[in-house]
Amino acid sequence: MPKKLDLTENLEKYTIDHSEALTDVQKEIIQYNISLGEQQRLQISVSQAQFLQTLIKISNIKKILEIGSFTGFSALSMALALPSDGLLISLDKSTEFSLKAQSFYEKANERKIKQIIKPAIESLKELKDSSQKFDLIFIDADKENYLNYYETSLELINKNSLIVIDNVLWHGEVADKSKNDKFTNIIRKFNTHIKKDKRIVKNITPIGDGLTICIKK
């Protein structure tokens, strides 16, 4: 068997420090989220943000839909990688978090982000009804609706466009047979659905809490 790299905390810090540098506003969002205590887990990791920025650049992405944005770290990170005429539409039902995110976008002078504040299921229907299409859709919201978000997202992208889903390794518990709680089983079921889906090419990338990259055939 080929030797596998053990990604320790120090090694992960090294990779972050030697990848795309964070802006001052990105750093400020991270510090704010830390102040929220347990809720900081809703933020994607820095390594995931750097990965998404690279993915956007190499895939020439211009239009992004984000489902679930928390306080804006992921949206801002992705928007920074978009061209000047790019657009990111962010869906979140929390007025409190969305207003905080908007304050960070304004501080960063980032004008490519449009927020829609209502339940994502409603927003997705409206986007579908208006025949919107996106180059990349990033799903990081309530896990109970992951399958619904994914299926609707497939209708909102064209051939060779991307869907990226966060938390697919669920703290490593999806691979632990002794774990059978509600959310672990939801993610397992979702991952099995993706594995069997012949409409896409897929890959699970083990960074952060796990990202699944889907390319529509």
- Per residue in 91-125, pLDDT (tens digit) is 999 999 999 999 999 999 999 999 999 999 999 99
Query: Crossing angle of helices 46-58/9-17, nearest 10°?
Result: 40
**Distance between CA atoms of residues 156 and 187, nearest Å:** 22
What integer pLDDT is reported at residue 4 of this predicted model? Answer: 79
Q: At 16, which CATH number?
A: 3.40.50.150
Ramachandran assignment for 172, one of left (phi > 0), alpha (psi -120 to 50 degrees), beta (any other):
left
**Cβ 88 vs Cβ 116: under 8 Å:** no
Which residues in the chain come in under a pLDDT of 70? Answer: 1
Say how many domains are in the chain. 1
> Is residue 57 in some structural domain?
yes
Helix or strand or coil: residue 89? strand
Q: Whole-model pTM?
A: 0.96
> Is residue 59 in some structural domain?
yes
> Is residue 75 in some structural domain?
yes
The residue behind tokens 């990259």 is 213
> Is residue 3 in some structural domain?
no
What integer pLDDT is reported at residue 1 of this predicted model? Answer: 63
> Is residue 19 in some structural domain?
yes
> Is residue 1 in some structural domain?
no
> Is residue 101 in some structural domain?
yes
Structural domain boundaries enclosing 41: 9-216
**Cβ 156 vs Cβ 125: under 8 Å:** no
